[in-house]
């Protein structure tokens, strides 16, 4: 059993290349996943664990948010799901001895791969001010440190609470309650860097910040446009759904600057046909678009449809447009004014091809557009997604079978976290319901999103940072700025399963609270607890880990948050379910969150005692079903929650556009919008860099050193560049260069950032476009370069130049 952690960081001198693959998954994927699983878990635990992924009585795969098909295969096999599971179910451990042996400086000198490979965290640890090493601390003392620091902030808005997307509904719901009980809406989350642009565009145009399709719709669609997404790596189970759609006669158009293997061909390891006959061709058409050209592509489709309507009639769904939409005339005028030659320039696609794509959309009886980070992480992502919606509205492709919008979410419960209240700009109805349920008054002022939180930390306006999962330091843009910002915070607290860079780049003091993951058995109050998650398509189901946890000392996320609530707000047994007395006074208006004296338990006793949430925190910690009862009473759509998740059942949250073509927008209609065309302009001698994922990573967690489908092995510091650019700019393939990003501030001045030693790889990408892996390239993404409206960092559109190394 080879379960030793690696001794070395990634040695980039061993990097070598092979031909990029044209087929995804197949037998090599199975073998690679089993290898990683065996390394981390040994054979028996691997088999035991992998058999339980996404089974009805098993745990929800921590890999991605793609839904389970109803008829599940025994091992719903997905290579990267298996790697995600192996990473968590590893038998390697990071305990007090590890921290005694490694100073924080030492940890900081290692890469994300090395850190993650060390294993699961087993003990609460604290880094005292000025200390070189973390030391073990008891749970009680650790939680006291956290509560005391929260009590010491001058104003609740000096505290920031980040959430990553693996946190269960139950833990997330309690966590947002804790945060609002403290008195702030500072709840930045990974969504701010991920699908926020989708949420912004969809809420505004169709009245819900989520997709409108089910897995059956994917199977039934006549046409699927998959844009800005690499499902072969990041949502491998989606390939089975696309395969099914193809078998039913559906067509797929892939829109991407890179010819990603999973978009081309898929060998399903679940079927003999997949393995023996070379698999299924996925994309009927591959559109190698210029990065950032998607708004132009969708405008071209819209323009084509409207021209065809004018000429032939019968193209657009006039009844749907009249009954359910607004803004059509303004959109039609905008498209009439759109200029084909500019659409060609922006996309890099000839007009004849743009028209062919338009024709494919015209003849499609039902169309779905799927997308991920290639569409959400640009400056003009929100207008781009509005134009996606426009095209679908033209043919009434929302709220009927086989049609709709499908933003493919990343983290396995990122959508659920938002549903249960992880949001810095909460809706008034949600806060009112929360206040009623817990007899207090939540703060109304909006909080910081991720980028705003970093700015506040940088400017010394934050004294306390807590991360519920995730790896804030590595995942966020502008690494150097973030690292300096973290150092200004008095206390940084991380609830984590595994070691990562955020434990090494800390505030003046730091606490690590180790926690259970999805795969771990969670016994509280003498019973095995389960949690719930919501997938990318709004379906909620239970998840229960079965493996022995890495240490008896671990608390679940729910238990950690419930205990903190108990310390901060006081246990209030009279507030047990059903016996609530309404002490809060809604007439009083906004609460005063003034200075809080540091106190022992409960910390808030000295201030407005009436204005803290009231619940029996201890009871919630020992019976998660009680949390679900609270969720049911606060959030519409969770009626009869407990019953509807029994026996592995799944239920759908209500979705107005999907269920009844009801659009909760400002005017109650689905809204056409007229968006002036935007696309990146790349200055002479520069490239537009997208920062993306390799096949062997999960965000900042690096599973291995290969990107098998792209033919890159044993290294990560590569920059993929078109051969023509390599030559034109005076470089050579294989040359080691520095990447320098150039950010033009609104006042016209230019800021530079540098990432050193990347090997140039000649690759099929449009002229002017380049690609390199995140998180290594986050140093290049300027903090202030964010998408309009959504505030998402522009991780797919960074202007860079290559520099020879001296
Ligand atoms: N194994 C694995 N699974 C994961 C993750 C992981 O890291 N590893 N991460 C999870 C998370 S949090 C997320 S959000 C998702 C991410 O899933 P993806 O969005 O698929 O991830 P990225 O690697 O960022 O890939 C972006 C894709 O968009 C393309 N692209 C870039 N710019 C443009 C553009 O301007 N236009 C178009 N049309 N395409 C463009 C890129 O070439 C690439 O294929 O995956 C989730 N699942
Ligand atoms: N340049 C660039 N930057 C990006 C992106 C990009 O494409 N390019 N993508 C962005 C996107 S889409 C996202 S979603 C973010 C991701 O940002 P994050 O979600 O913050 O990052 P992850 O790497 O997923 O977090 C990994 C850590 O989560 C912890 N963890 C794992 N499972 C659990 C659990 O069950 N509970 C708890 N408490 N902790 C757990 C482990 O300690 C692990 O080290 O990054 C963003 N940053
Ligand atoms: Mo994400």
Separation CA 156–CA 160 (nearest Å): 9
Are 390 and 376 contained in the same domain? Answer: yes
Determine which residue's CA is closest to atom 8 belonging to ligand 1.
Answer: 698
Is 11 a member of any domain? no
Chain centre to alpha carbon of residue 457: 22
Is 16 a member of any domain? no
Task: Return the closest-CA partner of residue 612 out of 650, 569, 649.
Answer: 569
Overall number of domains in the chain = 3
Confidence grade of residue 5 (pLDDT, cut at 50, 70, 90): low
Separation CA 38–CA 76 (nearest Å): 18
Are 490 and 586 contained in the same domain? Answer: yes
More confident residue, 600 or 556: 556
pLDDT digits (tens, 9 = 90+) for 255-272: 999 999 988 877 776 665
Q: Note down the domain range covering 243.
A: 196-411
Q: Which atom of ligand 1 is nearest to the CA of 195?
A: 14
Determine which residue's CA is closest to atom 44 belonging to ligand 1.
Answer: 230
More confident residue, 632 or 606: 632
Q: Which residues of 242-258 are buried (b: 16+ CB within 10 A; e: fewer)?
A: bbbbbeeebbbbbbbbb
Last residue of a domain, one of 381, 396, 411: 411
CB of 778 sitting under 6 A from ligand 2: yes
The CA radius of gyration of the chain, in Å to the nearest whole number, is 26
Is 73 a member of any domain? no
Render 591-622 in DSSP notation, one character per residue: PP-------SSSGGGGS-GGGS----HHHHHH
Dist. CA 257 → ligand 1 center (Å): 12
pLDDT of the residue at 67: 87
Chain centre to alpha carbon of residue 241: 21
And the tokens for 438? 């817990």
Determine which residue's CA is closest to atom 28 belonging to ligand 2.
Answer: 470
494 upstream amide cis, omega within 30 of 0: no
Task: Return the closest-CA partner of residue 561 out of 175, 194, 222.
Answer: 175
- Return the number of other C-beta atoms located less than 10 Å from residue 359's C-beta: 14
pLDDT of the residue at 286: 96
Separation CA 505–CA 510 (nearest Å): 9
Is 567 a member of any domain? yes
Dist. CA 196 → ligand 3 center (Å): 10
Average pLDDT in the 285-301 region? 98
Per DSSP, the three-state class of 255 is: strand
Pocket of ligand 1 (CB under 6 A): 63-64, 80, 194, 227-230, 233-235, 255-258, 260, 289, 291-292, 294, 372-374, 378, 410-411, 690, 692-693, 697-699, 796
Average pLDDT in the 519-548 region? 93
pLDDT of the residue at 43: 74
And the tokens for 716? 């990560």
And the tokens for 334? 């905008």
Going by C-beta distance under 8 Å and a sequence separation of 6 or more, which residues neighbour residue 706? Answer: 694, 695, 696, 712, 713, 714
First to last CA, the chain: 45
Tokens 């338990």 appear where?
601
pLDDT digits (tens, 9 = 90+) for 136-147: 999 999 999 999
Are 447 and 534 contained in the same domain? Answer: yes
More confident residue, 545 or 298: 298
Percent of the chain whose pLDDT exceeds 90: 80
Per DSSP, the three-state class of 88 is: helix
Are 448 and 426 contained in the same domain? Answer: yes
Average pLDDT in the 582-597 region? 34
Are 439 and 373 contained in the same domain? Answer: no
Average pLDDT in the 696-723 region? 96
pLDDT digits (tens, 9 = 90+) for 175-234: 999 999 999 999 999 999 999 999 999 999 999 999 999 999 999 999 999 999 999 999
Dist. CA 165 → ligand 3 center (Å): 8
pLDDT digits (tens, 9 = 90+) for 645-669: 998 899 999 999 999 999 999 999 9
Dist. CA 698 → ligand 3 center (Å): 10
Dist. CA 693 → ligand 1 center (Å): 6
- H-state helical runs in 490-640: 557-569, 617-622, 624-634
Last residue of a domain, one of 367, 390, 411: 411
Are 692 and 791 contained in the same domain? Answer: yes
Predicted confidence (pLDDT) at residue 599 exceeds the cutoff of 50 = no
- 194-198, 230-234, 433-437, 795-799: which has the minimum mean pLDDT? 230-234
Separation CA 727–CA 407 (nearest Å): 37
Dist. CA 654 → ligand 2 center (Å): 28
Are 433 and 356 contained in the same domain? Answer: no
Dist. CA 248 → ligand 3 center (Å): 30
Tokens 């493919």 appear where?
408
pLDDT of the residue at 153: 94
Last residue of a domain, one of 637, 656, 675: 656
- Mean confidence (pLDDT) of the chain: 91
Q: Which atom of ligand 2 is nearest to the CA of 701?
A: 23
Going by C-beta distance under 8 Å and a sequence separation of 6 or more, which residues neighbour residue 663? Answer: 206, 207, 324, 656, 657, 669, 670, 671
Is 60 a member of any domain? no
DSSP state for residue 93 in the 8-state scheme: E
User: Which of 196, 230, 695 has most ligand 1 atoms within 8 Å of CB, for mutation?
Assistant: 230
Confidence grade of residue 594 (pLDDT, cut at 50, 70, 90): very low
Ligand whose nearest atom lies closest to the CA of 516: 2
Confidence grade of residue 273 (pLDDT, cut at 50, 70, 90): low
Task: Return the closest-CA partner of residue 43 out of 95, 89, 84.
Answer: 89
User: Which of 62, 85, 164 has most ligand 2 atoms within 8 Å of CB, for mutation?
Assistant: 164
Q: Which atom of ligand 2 is nearest to the CA of 777?
A: 1
pLDDT of the residue at 65: 84
Average pLDDT in the 122-137 region? 98
Is 227 a member of any domain? yes
Separation CA 652–CA 662 (nearest Å): 16
pLDDT of the residue at 83: 85
Are 155 and 206 contained in the same domain? Answer: no
Determine which residue's CA is closest to atom 10 belonging to ligand 1.
Answer: 410
CB of 785 sitting under 6 A from ligand 2: no
CB of 413 sitting under 6 A from ligand 2: no
Are 177 and 200 contained in the same domain? Answer: no
Dist. CA 55 → ligand 1 center (Å): 26
DSSP H or E run through 274? helix 272-276
Average pLDDT in the 22-29 region? 74
Q: CATH number, domain at 280?
A: 3.40.228.10
pLDDT of the residue at 581: 35
Q: CATH number, domain at 428?
A: 3.40.50.740
Per DSSP, the three-state class of 43 is: helix
681 φ, ψ (degrees, to nearest 5): -105, 130
Chain centre to alpha carbon of residue 378: 15
Average pLDDT in the 373-393 region? 98
Strands 750-762 and 718-721: parallel
User: Which of 61, 84, 233, 234 has most ligand 1 atoms within 8 Å of CB, for mutation?
Assistant: 234
Confidence grade of residue 606 (pLDDT, cut at 50, 70, 90): very low
Chain centre to alpha carbon of residue 747: 32
25 φ, ψ (degrees, to nearest 5): 65, -130
- Return the number of other C-beta atoms located less than 10 Å from residue 365's C-beta: 14
Are 546 and 571 contained in the same domain? Answer: yes
Is 144 a member of any domain? yes
Task: Return the closest-CA partner of residue 558 out of 447, 491, 469, 432.
Answer: 469
Chain centre to alpha carbon of residue 771: 20
761 φ, ψ (degrees, to nearest 5): -115, 125
Confidence grade of residue 64 (pLDDT, cut at 50, 70, 90): confident
pLDDT of the residue at 4: 62
Check: CB of residue 632 under 8 Å from CB of residue 536: no
pLDDT digits (tens, 9 = 90+) for 26-57: 667 777 777 777 788 787 777 777 777 766 67
Confidence grade of residue 71 (pLDDT, cut at 50, 70, 90): low
Is 136 a member of any domain? yes
- Return the number of other C-beta atoms located less than 10 Å from residue 458's C-beta: 18
DSSP state for residue 57 in the 8-state scheme: T
What length does the chain have? Answer: 806
Dist. CA 694 → ligand 1 center (Å): 9
Confidence grade of residue 77 (pLDDT, cut at 50, 70, 90): low
Separation CA 373–CA 692 (nearest Å): 9
CB of 475 sitting under 6 A from ligand 2: yes
Determine which residue's CA is closest to atom 37 belonging to ligand 1.
Answer: 228
Q: CATH number, domain at 712?
A: 2.40.40.20
Confidence grade of residue 70 (pLDDT, cut at 50, 70, 90): low
Per DSSP, the three-state class of 584 is: coil
pLDDT of the residue at 584: 35
Per DSSP, the three-state class of 719 is: strand
Predicted confidence (pLDDT) at residue 552 exceeds the cutoff of 70 = yes
CB of 89 sitting under 6 A from ligand 2: no
754 φ, ψ (degrees, to nearest 5): -130, 135
Are 393 and 431 contained in the same domain? Answer: no
602 upstream amide cis, omega within 30 of 0: yes
Are 296 and 211 contained in the same domain? Answer: yes
């Amino acid at each position: 059993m080879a379960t030793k952690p690696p001794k070395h960081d990634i040695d980039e001198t061993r990097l070598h290349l092979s031909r990029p693959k044209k087929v995804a998954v197949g037998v090599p994927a199975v073998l690679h996943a089993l290898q990683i699983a065996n390394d981390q878990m040994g054979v028996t635990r691997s088999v035991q664990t992998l058999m339980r992924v996404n089974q009805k009585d098993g745990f929800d795969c921590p890999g991605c948010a793609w839904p389970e098909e109803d008829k599940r295969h025994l091992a719903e096999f997905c290579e990267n799901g298996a790697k995600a599971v192996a990473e968590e179910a590893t038998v390697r451990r990071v305990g007090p001895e590890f921290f005694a042996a490694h100073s924080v400086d030492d940890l900081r000198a290692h890469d994300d791969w090395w850190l993650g490979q060390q294993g699961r965290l087993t003990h609460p640890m604290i880094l005292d001010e000025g200390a070189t090493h973390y030391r073990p601390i008891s749970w009680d003392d650790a939680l006291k440190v956290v509560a005391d620091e929260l009590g010491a902030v001058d104003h609740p808005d000096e505290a920031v609470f980040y959430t990553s997307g693996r946190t269960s509904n139950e833990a997330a719901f309690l966590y947002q309650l804790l945060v609002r009980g403290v008195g702030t809406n500072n709840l930045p989350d990974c969504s701010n860097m991920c699908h926020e642009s989708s949420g912004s565009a969809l809420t505004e145009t169709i009245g819900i910040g989520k997709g409108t399709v089910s897995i059956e719709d994917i199977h039934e669609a006549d046409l699927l446009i998959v844009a800005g997404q690499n499902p072969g790596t990041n949502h491998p189970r989606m390939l089975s759904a696309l395969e099914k759609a193809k078998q039913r006669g559906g067509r797929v158009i892939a829109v991407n600057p890179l010819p990603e293997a999973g978009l081309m061909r898929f060998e399903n390891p679940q079927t003999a046909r997949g393995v023996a006959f070379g698999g299924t061709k996925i994309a009927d058409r591959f559109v190698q678009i210029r990065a950032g050209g998607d708004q132009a592509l969708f405008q071209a489709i819209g323009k084509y449809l409207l021209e065809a309507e004018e000429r032939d009639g019968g193209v657009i769904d006039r009844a749907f447009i009249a009954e359910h939409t607004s803004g059509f005339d303004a959109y039609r005028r905008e498209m009439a004014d759109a200029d084909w030659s500019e659409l060609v320039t922006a996309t890099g696609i000839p007009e004849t091809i743009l028209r062919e794509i338009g024709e494919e959309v015209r003849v499609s009886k039902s169309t779905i557009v799927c997308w991920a980070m290639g569409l959400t992480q640009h400056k003009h992502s929100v207008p781009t997604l509005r134009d996606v919606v426009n095209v679908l509205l033209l043919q009434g492709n929302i709220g009927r079978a086989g049609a709709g919008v499908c933003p493919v979410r990343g983290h396995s419960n990122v959508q659920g976290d938002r549903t249960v209240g992880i949001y810095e700009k909460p809706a008034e109805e949600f806060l009112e319901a929360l206040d009623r349920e817990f007899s207090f008054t939540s703060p109304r002022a909006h909080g910081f999103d991720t980028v705003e939180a970093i700015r506040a930390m940088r400017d010394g306006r934050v004294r306390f940072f807590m991360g519920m999962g995730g790896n804030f330091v590595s995942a966020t843009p502008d690494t150097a700025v973030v690292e300096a910002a973290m150092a200004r915070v008095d206390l940084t607290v991380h609830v984590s399963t595994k070691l990562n860079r955020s434990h090494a780049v800390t505030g003046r003091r730091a606490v690590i609270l180790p926690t259970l993951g999805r795969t771990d058995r969670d016994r509280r109050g003498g019973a095995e607890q389960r949690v719930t998650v919501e997938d990318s398509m709004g379906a909620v189901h239970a998840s229960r880990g079965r493996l022995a946890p890495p240490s008896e000392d671990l608390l679940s996320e729910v238990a950690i948050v419930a205990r903190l609530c108990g310390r901060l707000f006081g246990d209030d047994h009279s507030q047990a379910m059903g016996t609530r007395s309404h002490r809060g006074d809604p007439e009083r208006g906004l609460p005063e969150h003034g200075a809080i004296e540091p106190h022992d338990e409960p910390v808030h006793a000295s201030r407005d005692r009436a204005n803290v949430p009231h619940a029996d925190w201890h009871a919630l910690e020992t019976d998660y079903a009680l949390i679900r009862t609270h969720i049911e009473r606060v959030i519409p759509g969770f009626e009869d929650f407990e019953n509807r998740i029994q026996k592995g059942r799944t239920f759908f949250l209500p979705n107005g556009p999907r269920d009844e073509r009801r659009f909760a927008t400002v005017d109650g209609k689905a809204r056409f919008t007229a968006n002036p065309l935007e696309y990146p302009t790349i200055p002479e001698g520069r490239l537009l860099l997208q920062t993306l994922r390799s096949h062997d990573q999960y965000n900042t967690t690096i599973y291995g050193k290969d990107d098998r489908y792209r033919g890159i092995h044993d290294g990560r510091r590569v920059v993929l560049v078109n051969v023509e650019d390599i030559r034109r700019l005076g470089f050579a393939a294989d040359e080691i260069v520095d990447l320098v990003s150039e950010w033009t501030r609104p006042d016209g001045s230019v800021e530079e950032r540098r990432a050193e030693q990347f090997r140039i790889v000649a690759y099929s990408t449009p002229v002017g476009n380049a690609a390199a892996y995140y998180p290594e390239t986050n140093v290049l993404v300027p903090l202030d370069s964010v998408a309009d409206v959504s505030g998402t960092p522009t991780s797919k559109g960074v202007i860079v130049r290559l520099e020879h190394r001296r």
